Amino acid sequence: EADGEAEVRLLLQEARESIEAARSYRQELEQRLRGLQQARKQIRESATLTRDVLEQHFNDLKGTLKKLLDERLMSLLQEVDAIEQESIKPLDECQKLIEHGVSTANDLLREGESAVHGDVGQQNEKLCSFTKKALHIQLDSLPEVPSLVDVPCLSAQLDDCLLTILKNQIFRHGTVASRPPVQLEEFVEKPGGILVRWCKVDDDFIPQDYRLQYRKSTACHFEDVYVGSETEFIVLHIDPNVDYQFRVCARGDGRQEWSPWSVPQIGRTTLVPHEWTAGLEGYSLSSRRNIALRNDSQSCGVLYSKAPTYFCGQTLTRIETVGQPDRRDSLGVCVEQQNGYDSLQRDKAVCVSTNGAVFVNGKEMTNQLPAVTSGSTVTFDMEVVQLGPSSNEGGNFKLRVTISSNNREVVFDWVLDQCCVSLYFGCSFSYPGWKVLVF
């Protein structure tokens, strides 16, 4: 009798483990089913959008070349249907497999729960039967579901100048693309902005220019934010904690038309934008307070950021216009705002002067950067290298600072007597004309 009870307890334990495995298996299947539905939705919606674009475009041209356009339209729509059907078929098969797995998991769960909570007299037999059945089902075998970027996203490439081309060119007008040649790759948060990176995914496509667009998630239309040959761009004036949609396309070498758009992706930043402090007499600020202009006022002093919004990581400042340089000019970061100084060349601050001299806690370093000119970008990048007991240098907090300007950089350790999670940035100029953008 004792052996029987032990066997029942063992079977109960095995049954509970199988139930838990079945529940986890079902959850994974349901998650893959949702991914599959998203993939199907992308194909369906892009196919619908492509049909709409094709139909609208060809309907606009029917008045002059109705017969030829109708024949070509039918051909392209059939191509869309063929791509759609070909793309949907493996997804249908995968869905059937997943739905069968979900059904099997549900049946197994019901049988297991019935065995665990069933009649004591029949429990041993039910538990044995359920355990054997659970062992024969591969609860760790899950079907692969393609990600959205791996399934076709149909679109149409069209030429608005069709009326000017010859009859034999009409039959080559328009194509249906299932995948764009470029895709968004990475979003990096910046203060009040997002660094967007993209990459070419079609080896046979030779890009000449890229075109990046974005919109707020609540907006209806995308707008251009960058056109050029670079594969990354910092989008500024981004509201923090708000979703934005991005998409990118490319123009092939020697071509006028743009490629299909990439699959739109969502990016956001949680970092508030850098802002200068308003109200200092010697400086005029832009409406967003991220650009400061040294005006004609005789008043001097250091213009600080509104808050300590600089964290360890890269921050850029760009000199928009220049004025007469002075050895006391400064552009840098500091632990705290200190009024009464006319420069950041002081304790608890690191800065670079307009002549390229670098100062750490008020002391000039041996290494220098090139003199600042109009269009110069000055980069501050820091990382914590020591946090602990006081060192021989008298501090217990050390930052490794890299300042870059005009393709040159200096690296040094900045020793402080307190832990600084965030820092202020600031600037000072003796003469008018200097304009600084911070981002």
Closest CA to 50 of 83, 85, 89, 80: 80
CA 398 to mean position of chain CA atoms: 31
Could you give the CA distance from residue 372 to residue 355 in angstroms, rounded to a whole number?
6
Which two three-digit tokens encode residue 355? 């002549």
| Signed CA dihedral, 111, 117, 118, 124: sign only | positive
Could you give the CA distance from residue 384 to residue 111 in angstroms, rounded to a whole number?
58
Could you give the CA distance from residue 48 to residue 77 in angstroms, rounded to a whole number?
11
Could you give the CA distance from residue 262 to residue 182 in angstroms, rounded to a whole number?
6
Please indicate whether residue 151 or residue 247 has the higher confidence score (pLDDT).
Answer: 247
Q: Is 313 left (phi over 0), alpha (psi -120 to 50) or beta?
A: left
Asked whether 106 and 26 are in contact (CB, 8 A), the reply is yes
| Residue 42 host element (H or E) | helix 2-117
Instruction: Give the tens place of pLDDT for each residue, 344-391.
Output: 999 999 999 999 999 999 999 999 999 999 999 999 998 888 765 544
Out of 8-22, 325-339, 362-376, 389-403, pick the least confident: 389-403
SS3 100: helix
Could you give the CA distance from residue 213 to residue 252 in angstroms, rounded to a whole number?
18
Could you give the CA distance from residue 217 to residue 240 in angstroms, rounded to a whole number?
13
Out of 158-162, 299-303, 335-339, pick the least confident: 158-162
Superfamily of domain 283-438: SPRY domain (2.60.120.920)
Residue 108 has pLDDT above 80, yes or no: no
Residue 185 has pLDDT above 90, yes or no: yes
Could you give the CA distance from residue 76 to residue 155 in angstroms, rounded to a whole number?
11
Asked if the domains 182-267 and 283-438 are classified in one and the same CATH topology, the answer is: no
Please indicate whether residue 178 or residue 74 has the higher confidence score (pLDDT).
Answer: 74
Asked whether 104 and 137 are in contact (CB, 8 A), the reply is yes
Asked whether 296 and 439 are in contact (CB, 8 A), the reply is no
pTM to 2 decimals? 0.55
Which two three-digit tokens encode residue 101? 């797995």
Average pLDDT over residues 55-76: 79
Average pLDDT over the chain reads 86
pLDDT reported for residue 390: 47
CATH architecture of 182-267: Sandwich (2.60)
pLDDT reported for residue 395: 53
Instruction: Give the tens place of pLDDT for each residue, 243-291.
Output: 999 999 999 887 888 888 998 899 999 988 899 999 899 999 999 899 9
pLDDT reported for residue 391: 46
Q: Say how many C-beta atoms besides its own lie within 10 A of residue 394's C-beta.
A: 9
Q: What's the chain's length in residues?
A: 439
pLDDT reported for residue 117: 74
Query: End-to-end alpha-carbon separation of the chain, Å?
Result: 78
Out of 2-6, 317-321, 426-430, pick the least confident: 2-6
Residue 214 has pLDDT above 60, yes or no: yes
Residue 393 has pLDDT above 70, yes or no: no
Residue 7 has pLDDT above 50, yes or no: yes
Which two three-digit tokens encode residue 100? 């069968």
The maximal CA–CA distance of the chain, rounded, in angstroms, is: 101
Out of 80-94, 148-162, 344-358, 424-438, pick the least confident: 148-162
Which two three-digit tokens encode residue 366? 């041996």
Q: What are the structural domain ranges in the chain? A: 1-172, 182-267, 283-438
Q: Please report where in the chains the tokens 């600080």 appear, as a residue.
A: 304
Phi, psi of 278 (to 5 degrees): -80, 155
Average pLDDT over residues 123-132: 72
Strand 363-368 with 193-200, pairing: unpaired
pLDDT reported for residue 250: 94
Instruction: Give the tens place of pLDDT for each residue, 215-249.
Output: 998 888 999 999 999 999 999 889 999 999 999 99
Closest CA to 179 of 155, 213, 206, 212: 155
Which two three-digit tokens encode residue 364? 């000039």
Could you give the CA distance from residue 44 to residue 38 in angstroms, rounded to a whole number?
10
Residue 165 has pLDDT above 60, yes or no: no
Which two three-digit tokens encode residue 296? 């004609």
Could you give the CA distance from residue 265 to residue 243 in angstroms, rounded to a whole number?
10
Residue 396 has pLDDT above 90, yes or no: no
